[in-house]
């Protein structure tokens, strides 16, 4: 390949670096909406919510399999 052809081809190659955080290093800080021990729901609430979820699923399955005829 001639020198002129190499020069033409080299101008077509993108020589820029991929994005590597050109704005500088990203500083991590705690978010405002992080759940702490004081803000998480109680154990009883989680148990009640899970029980309601299971009861609804069992009810739908009972209707589907014909155990309960609406």
pLDDT tens-digit readout, 42-61: 999 999 999 999 999 999 99
pLDDT in the model for residue 31: 76
**CA-CA distance, 8 to 12, in Å (whole number)?**
7
pLDDT in the model for residue 27: 73
Whether 28 is covered by a domain: the verdict is: no
**CA-CA distance, 44 to 61, in Å (whole number)?**
26
Report whether pLDDT(29) > 80. no
Domain that holds residue 64: 41-70
Is the pTM for the entire model greater than 0.85?
Answer: no
**CA-CA distance, 67 to 45, in Å (whole number)?**
30
Number of domains in the chain: 1
Whether 14 is covered by a domain: the verdict is: no
């Amino acid at each position: 390949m001639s020198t002129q052809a190499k020069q033409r081809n080299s101008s077509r190659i993108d020589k820029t670096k991929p994005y590597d955080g050109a704005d500088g290093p990203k500083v991590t800080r705690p978010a405002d909406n992080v759940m702490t021990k004081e803000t998480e729901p109680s154990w009883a609430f989680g148990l009640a919510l899970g029980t309601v979820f299971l009861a609804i699923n069992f009810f739908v399955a009972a209707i589907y399999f014909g155990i309960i005829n609406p």
